[in-house]
């Protein structure tokens, strides 16, 4: 079976991310570890990255990849969940909001800022999920945390119903529902997300993600064949060849010197930063770089070894 592997799935609205993972696990077999690289709300659609086999070790790494969303924001009303699934808790006039005013307001969200997650969310408050507290009638106000918006663009005019389409690129932990809520307040009205689609997670785009219902109808062999090898990440990150000496060191969790390693040319002209990959037919290692004297050392954070290799 060609695992470990990665499979971006186009999840529809109304299905939980954990249910998607569970369905795929049942097809591959319960002995095959199956996970994800960042959940999507059940009310949202789009790219859900499924990880199989040893690729589940990449979960935190994939979660850190930048995400791009297409969001429909509805001005004039706030909801208990900050999206269309909640009860309307406030109505305010929105007709004073113009395209120009919206464009100006969006500029204030670029870069790092503090954001308070929705009251109905998966964040923990003293050990309990916020959504569990909220739905039990208890006060649930998650602490604000730092998030980062890489790009925000208006892709439509505000229509006669107070709705507008935005394209948002952000980093891990950003809630688009909270963004809509805060955007409404900045414009002197209320707002919520009326539709949300994740169009990409790092290099995994919705245009190459099979629909969930197609995946669920696959056989074990078909699904295994659809998995993308983890080595595909070498095309988007700085990547070096693992020779015999570096393989031995990395497989034992030891640092290696960057000096002397052969560089692989990336597929993208501007590869993503933050990690370095060292790979061969025996190992796929995600490393962090550390300065040592006039050179660099690479410390393995995640090692995925080829079948038959041993890891100490």
Which residue in the list 41, 82, 83, 182 is annotated as catalytic?
Answer: 41
- In whole angstroms, give the CA distance from residue 29 to residue 33: 9
Are 181 and 192 within 8 A, CB to CB? yes
Tell me the CA distances in angstroms from 35 to 42, 56, 70, 246, one per residue in order: 17, 6, 24, 29
Helix (H) or strand (E) holding 149: strand 145-154
Residues in the chain: 312
Are 64 and 164 within 8 A, CB to CB? no
Are 165 and 155 within 8 A, CB to CB? yes
- Going by DSSP bridges, is the β-strand pair 145-154/256-257 parallel, antiparallel, or unpaired? unpaired
- In whole angstroms, give the CA distance from residue 5 to residue 9: 13
Sequence-distant (≥ 6) Cβ neighbours of residue 31 within 8 angstroms: none
Short-list 13, 255, 7, CA closest to 21: 7
| 41 labelled catalytic | yes
Short-list 44, 41, 79, 70, CA closest to 191: 79
Bridge partners (DSSP) of residue 7 are 50
286, two tokens: 């995600």
Residue with tokens 């079976």: 1
16, two tokens: 């939980």
Catalytic residues: 41
């Amino acid at each position: 079976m060609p695992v470990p592997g990665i499979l971006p799935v186009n999840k529809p609205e109304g299905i939980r991310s954990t249910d998607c993972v569970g369905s795929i696990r049942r097809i591959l077999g319960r002995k095959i570890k199956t996970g994800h690289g960042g959940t999507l709300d059940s009310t949202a659609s789009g790219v859900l990255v499924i990880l199989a086999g040893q690729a589940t070790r990449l979960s935190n790494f994939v979660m850190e990849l930048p995400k791009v969303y297409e969001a429909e924001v509805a001005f004039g009303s706030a909801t208990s969940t900050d999206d269309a699934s909640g009860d309307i808790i406030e109505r305010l006039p929105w007709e004073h909001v113009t395209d120009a005013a919206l464009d100006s307001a969006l500029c204030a969200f670029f870069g790092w800022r503090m954001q308070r997650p929705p009251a109905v969310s998966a964040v923990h408050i003293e050990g309990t999920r916020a959504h569990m507290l909220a739905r039990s009638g208890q006060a649930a106000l998650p602490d604000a945390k730092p998030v980062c918006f890489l790009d925000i663009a208006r892709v439509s005019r505000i229509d006669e119903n107070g709705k507008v389409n935005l394209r948002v690129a952000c980093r891990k932990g950003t809630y688009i529902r909270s963004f809509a809520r805060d955007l409404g307040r900045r414009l002197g009205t209320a707002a919520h997300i009326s539709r949300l689609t994740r169009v990409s997670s790092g290099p995994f785009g919705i245009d190459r993600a099979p629909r969930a219902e197609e995946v669920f109808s696959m056989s074990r062999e078909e699904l295994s064949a659809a998995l993308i090898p983890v080595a595909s990440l070498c095309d988007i990150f700085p990547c070096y060849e693992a020779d015999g000496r570096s393989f031995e060191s990395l497989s034992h969790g030891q640092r290696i010197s960057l000096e002397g390693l052969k560089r692989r040319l990336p597929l993208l002209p501007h590869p993503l930063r933050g990690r370095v990959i060292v790979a061969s037919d025996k190992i796929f290692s995600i490393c962090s770089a550390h300065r040592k004297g006039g050179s660099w050392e690479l410390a393995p954070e995640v090692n995925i070894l080829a079948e038959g290799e041993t890891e100490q």
